[in-house]
């Protein structure tokens, strides 16, 4: 999607920051080699990923448990292709990133959507799982739970207890878990991330984890991700389902990932500090200038989830701010049930840009 030059784009989930210098240097060196044939992940890259997961999450993963992918949306679709039969059901918690809604349908599955619960405290929205509704949504043909962890768009970094309850329900119904953890590195202000598969060996045997450096280091255009599948039978089935379907990660993605996971941790620390301050600036601005707008407090990601249902807008909030403020946000309705009347705002940008967009939105609300 593209917009005219006078529109501030705050919608797509990548950042308006340059990628880390070691990544840019590694890419320049790779280009200087001048050959661009087929390339495969190295043992050093697999070891770097394992070391990253151990260092940051205390999660021990072996190199042969990693399956490389050209991206995580394709990974979601491959999970549905590998483990869902036509007529099976996949359960998701909504609102959620829209490929979670389309991937099961792409492969002949039905979709069971369980709305997350909103609890308001003043201008803040707290998001919780309705576990009884989640359990009721699992039927005899439910074979897959696709979980967004941390959550896009609401920004939750799910706790160990929350993950444990979801996993226990799934294991009790023999439901496979696909945990998309692309946002795992971007927890804010001391929030922590617990990989779903790290909870217990039993959960690990029924879990496929999807990860990538793309959100963390602003590399989405380079087409690199991976799955961690610790059960050998699941891993072989996943690999077999990809026979001739997805390409290997490309040479640029491989070079960038190697540099990111070995040389960019200090950059990430500084980034998370800046994103936390941006998050606070967003919430402070809403409190002072848009008292009718509620919002979640993101514990992870660089995405604000804003509730305009009480703002008195007669038409779609997305269309209103695009036309009246020249700010492009993400329409909450596209994220499924529970997203109507919401907008997703990307605050992974220079603070001046964030504040300019908010000023435009405030002015549009006052002038309506």
Same domain, 255 and 352: no
Q: What is the pLDDT of residue 327?
A: 98
Task: State which residues of the chain have pLDDT below 50.
Answer: none
pTM: 0.97
Residues in CB range of 283: below 8 A, 6 or more apart? 295, 297
CATH code, 289: 3.90.1150.10
For residue 93, the enclosing domain spans 21-263
Q: What is the pLDDT of residue 211?
A: 98
Closest by Cα among 173, 162, 177, 180 to 116 = 162
Task: Write phi, then psi, for 148 (nearest 5 degrees).
Answer: -100, 115
CA–CA separation, 114 and 12 (whole Å): 25
Q: What is the pLDDT of residue 2?
A: 83
3-state secondary structure of 97: coil
Phi-psi region of 183 (alpha: psi -120 to 50; beta: other; left: phi over 0): alpha
Q: Tell me whether residue 367 is exposed, middle or buried, using C-beta atoms within 10 angstroms of its C-beta: 0 to 12, 13 to 18, 19 or more.
A: exposed
Length of the chain (residues): 368
Same domain, 240 and 303: no
Q: What is the pLDDT of residue 57?
A: 98
For residue 1, being part of any structural domain is answered with: no
Q: What is the pLDDT of residue 315?
A: 79
Tell me the pairing of strands 142-148 and 89-94. Answer: parallel
Closest by Cα among 159, 195, 156 to 178 = 195
Q: H helices within 20-98, ranges in order?
A: 21-33, 43-57, 72-83
Same domain, 223 and 355: no
Contact 237, 80 (CB under 8 A): no
For residue 295, being part of any structural domain is answered with: yes
Same domain, 225 and 310: no
Same domain, 292 and 224: no
Same domain, 160 and 303: no
The string of DSSP letters for 267-312 reads: HHHHHHHHHHHHHHHHHHHHHHH-TT-EEE--SBSSEEEEE-TTTT
CA–CA separation, 144 and 177 (whole Å): 6
Same domain, 58 and 161: yes
CATH code, 61: 3.40.640.10
pLDDT tens string 9-23 = 999 999 999 999 999
CA–CA separation, 66 and 209 (whole Å): 10
Q: What is the pLDDT of residue 368?
A: 86
């Amino acid at each position: 999607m593209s917009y005219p030059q006078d529109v501030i784009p705050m919608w797509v989930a990548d950042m308006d920051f340059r990628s880390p210098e070691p990544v840019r240097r590694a890419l320049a060196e790779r280009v200087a080699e001048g050959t661009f044939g087929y390339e495969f992940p190295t043992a050093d890259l697999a070891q770097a990923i394992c070391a990253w997961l151990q260092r940051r999450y205390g999660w021990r993963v072996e190199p042969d448990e990693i399956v490389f992918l050209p991206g995580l949306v394709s990974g979601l679709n491959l999970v549905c292709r590998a483990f869902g039969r036509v007529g099976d059901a996949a359960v998701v918690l909504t609102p959620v990133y829209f490929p979670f809604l389309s991937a099961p349908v792409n492969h002949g599955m039905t979709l069971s959507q369980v709305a997350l619960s909103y609890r308001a405290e003043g201008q803040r929205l707290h998001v919780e799982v309705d576990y009884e509704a989640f359990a009721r949504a699992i039927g005899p043909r439910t074979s897959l739970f696709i979980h967004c962890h941390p959550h896009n768009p609401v920004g939750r970094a799910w706790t160990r207890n929350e993950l444990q309850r979801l996993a226990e329900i799934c294991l009790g119904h023999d439901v496979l878990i696909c945990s998309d953890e692309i946002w795992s590195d971007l927890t804010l202000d001391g929030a922590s991330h617990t990989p779903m598969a790290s909870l217990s060996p039993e959960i690990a045997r029924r879990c496929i984890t999807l990860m990538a450096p793309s959100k963390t280091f602003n590399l989405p255009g380079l087409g690199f991700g991976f799955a961690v599948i610790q059960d050998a039978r699941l891993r072989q089935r996943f690999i077999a389902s990809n026979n001739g379907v997805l390409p290997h990660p490309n040479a640029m993605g491989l070079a960038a990932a190697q540099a990111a996971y070995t040389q960019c941790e200090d950059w990430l620390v500084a980034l998370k500090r800046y994103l936390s301050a941006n998050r606070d600036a967003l919430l402070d601005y809403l409190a002072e200038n848009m008292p009718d707008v509620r919002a979640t407090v993101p514990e992870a990601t660089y995405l604000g989830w804003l509730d305009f249902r009480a703002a008195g807008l007669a038409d779609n909030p997305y269309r209103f701010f695009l036309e009246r403020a020249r700010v492009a946000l993400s329409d909450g309705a596209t994220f499924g049930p529970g997203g109507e009347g919401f907008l997703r705002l990307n605050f992974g940008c220079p603070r001046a840009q964030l504040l300019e967009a908010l000023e435009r939105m405030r002015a549009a609300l006052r002038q309506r």
